[in-house]
Structure 1
Amino acid sequence: MSNLYRDTPTQAMLSSSALRRTQLTASHLTSKQPSRNLSILDDSSSAMSSQRKLKILMLHGYTQSGPLFHAKTRALEKNLDKAFPAAPKPGHLPSYPGGVELVYPTAPLKLSISDIPGYDVDGSKSENEDPEAYAWWRRKGDGEPFTYEGLEQGFERIAEVIKEKGPFDGAIGFSQGGAAAGMFASLLEEGRRDAFEKQQSQGGMRYPESFEQDTGFMTDVIQQPLKFAVSYSGFGAAPNELYTAFYEPKIKTPMLHFLGSVDTVVEEARSLRLVDACVTGRGVEGGVARVVYHPGGHFLPSSQKQYVAALVAFIREVVGGPPEDSLENKKEEKAEDMDMPF
């Protein structure tokens, strides 16, 4: 009876063989599992990459705000959406299959009536009025060289936006925002912190602490350099030792400048100061002129075809992508797509 429950040599061999097959099968399944997980991760990574957008920081002018600047440039936003659509639409940028995204922050310095030239010309405004007007800095002084009060706060705000919604690929600014776009591009360039450190010993300002990032091994810049910057009626900072490091050495980031031929707010010489502070200056790169004059005054031509085309061509030239005039098939211009006064 006891032999009924005892393995014979043949049974033992069969049991051992079955056990080995079971172990091999389990081992095979276990070894396959990481591959399936890796495949899932790869698919997820690919999906995330396919949604990458061309992010542009939009910097408003003195006395404006993010929402107001957005309202005034809706035509430009629509035109850029048409020019750089999400894949697979024709004209999309291969590196940015998610299309384009414009971000409109508001500057940190709240302005009072006394800060706004011409706001109360006839004395009809109440002293208690609180206009929704903001600035990246306040200009101080009766003449050049001016100083820019609150400039560090302006960059702190930009740094906050980078952390919240960045990193950014480009910047577009109007008037004071155009000047800020040039400074922003400069700050992110390789070697710029060294330039600030060198100039600081000669009376220059310190490199903005808000743009520094401690990686644990070394202090780095808050994000990679911009691929481009655009200035509409912008200007270079006053010739003051405080701000020399923004422009020496010259700004290497590709920059496009729009100037109004009858602009009475920002003199041409001030705008050309920023132009000449750029490596590309007044030249032509890739068939695209770096300085474009329009027949208007102090405003941003956001719907006029030839100026939108110049902007689109510039962006395509610096970020890569096939030439594409996405505005050729435009049949009519709606009221909301027309330029608004600045």
Structure 2
Amino acid sequence: MSTRLKVLCLHGFTSNGTVHAHQLRRITKALPEYDFIFPDGPHEVDISSQTDLSKPENQAWTDLVTSMGTSGHRAWWFSRDGNWQNGETGGFYGLEKSLDFIGNLLLEKGPVHAIWGFSQGACFSGMLCSLLQEKLANHPLRKHMPAQLPTPSAGVIFSGFRARFPQYDSVYEPGIDVPLLHVIGEKDSLVRSERSEALIKVCREANFLKHPGGHDIPKLDEDQGKIVEFLKSNVPLR
């Protein structure tokens, strides 16, 4: 069994593991002592139903994803609003399947010492860091994952947010004790600052990194260096 320290990295909505590895390549290159795991979300996304491909920026994204392998556009869930007229509350449809998938993956390739995520993957990372704590061992969502999975030592949340549906409040109410680095783009127009702050408020040990970019991975060497140092400090090499 490998004794190398491992980091699980979860991509954003309509991305996949290969694309996410490309996005993080400069950071992971600076951390050769760690193993990074980049899975594909278990849900396939019909991109034409999710975005306007007549816009050049959306078509460029689709072209990038298509050019980088055969996995296509993937997701950890589909977020759907409720309908008060028929009593539907809305929620993350497909979340349970992703919990099953990640649980089996961690049994196969773990233990995992840190969990990183971007956008939808960042929301999922925050939920996982909470659910894998001993104090949430009896949470209903925890039953979708093997009981013996350890709590990660740290997490990095890129453009993250708290799940907005009330049925997930119990995931956050006990508080997240895992040290998390929240990476926020000053020009992020997709994840509003108040959504990130809602997640930050439930973290017992929240660290912050604001970068001048938008909804993306920081590009400045200084900012990437801070992410590298955060991992080394919280998941030190043995």
Normalising by structure 2, we get a TM-score of: 0.85
Distance 1:69 1:321, change over 3 A: closer
Aligned match for 1:296, one of 209, 213, 216:
213
Kindly provide the CA deviation profile for residues 102-132 of structure 1, in whole angstroms up to 9, marking residues without a partner as x.
Answer: 010000110113442333459xx9xxxxx71
CA distance in 1, matches of 2:176, 2:90: 21
Kindly provide the CA deviation profile for residues 158-192 of structure 1, in whole angstroms up to 9, marking residues without a partner as x.
Answer: 11211221110001111111111111111110111
Aligned to 1:112: 46
One-letter code aligned to 2:152 = L
1:280 shift after superposition: 1.8
Aligned residues: 221
Query: Which SS does the other structure have where 2:102 is aligned?
Result: helix
1:142 shift after superposition: 7.0
Kindly provide the CA deviation profile for residues 25-65 of structure 1, in whole angstroms up to 9, marking residues without a partner as x.
Answer: xxxxxxxxxxxxxxxxxxxxxxx7xx621100010000001
- After superposition, residues 65-214 of structure 1 pair within 5 angstroms as 65-81=16-32, 99-121=33-55, 132-141=72-81, 146-194=90-138, 196=139, 206-212=140-146
Aligned to 1:230: 156
1:321 shift after superposition: 6.2
CA distance in 2, matches of 1:70, 1:118: 25
CA distance in 1, matches of 2:24, 2:237: 24
One-letter code aligned to 1:118 = D
One-letter code aligned to 1:135 = A
Aligned match for 2:230, one of 304, 310, 314:
314
Kindly provide the CA deviation profile for residues 215-249 of structure 1, in whole angstroms up to 9, marking residues without a partner as x.
Answer: xxxxxx241100001111111110x3310121011
Kindly provide the CA deviation profile for residues 234-274 of structure 1, in whole angstroms up to 9, marking residues without a partner as x.
Answer: 11110x33101210111011110000000011111111111
Query: Which SS does the other structure have where 2:9 is aligned?
Result: strand
Query: Which SS does the other structure have where 2:163 is aligned?
Result: coil
CA distance in 1, matches of 2:180, 2:202: 10
CA distance in 1, matches of 2:133, 2:53: 38
Q: Are 1:183 and 1:246, in contact at CA under 8 Å, matched by a contact in 2?
A: yes
CA distance in 1, matches of 2:127, 2:191: 17
Higher relative strand content: 2
One-letter code aligned to 2:9 = M
Query: Which SS does the other structure have where 2:117 is aligned?
Result: strand
Q: Are 1:169 and 1:227, in contact at CA under 8 Å, matched by a contact in 2?
A: yes
Q: Are 2:104 and 2:145, in contact at CA under 8 Å, matched by a contact in 1?
A: no
Kindly provide the CA deviation profile for residues 281-329 of structure 1, in whole angstroms up to 9, marking residues without a partner as x.
Answer: 4xxxxxxxx011000000012x52211221122223223469xxxxxxx
CA distance in 1, matches of 2:3, 2:53: 42
CA distance in 2, matches of 1:227, 1:118: 40
Distance 1:266 1:146, change over 3 A: farther
CA distance in 1, matches of 2:54, 2:93: 23
CA distance in 1, matches of 2:235, 2:47: 42
One-letter code aligned to 1:102 = F
Aligned to 1:54: 5
CA distance in 1, matches of 2:52, 2:223: 29
1:80 shift after superposition: 1.8
Q: Are 2:82 and 2:91, in contact at CA under 8 Å, matched by a contact in 1?
A: no
Q: Are 1:193 and 1:207, in contact at CA under 8 Å, matched by a contact in 2?
A: no
Aligned to 1:251: 176
Unaligned 5+ residue runs, structure 2?
60-65, 67-71, 84-88
Normalising by structure 1, we get a TM-score of: 0.60
One-letter code aligned to 2:204 = V
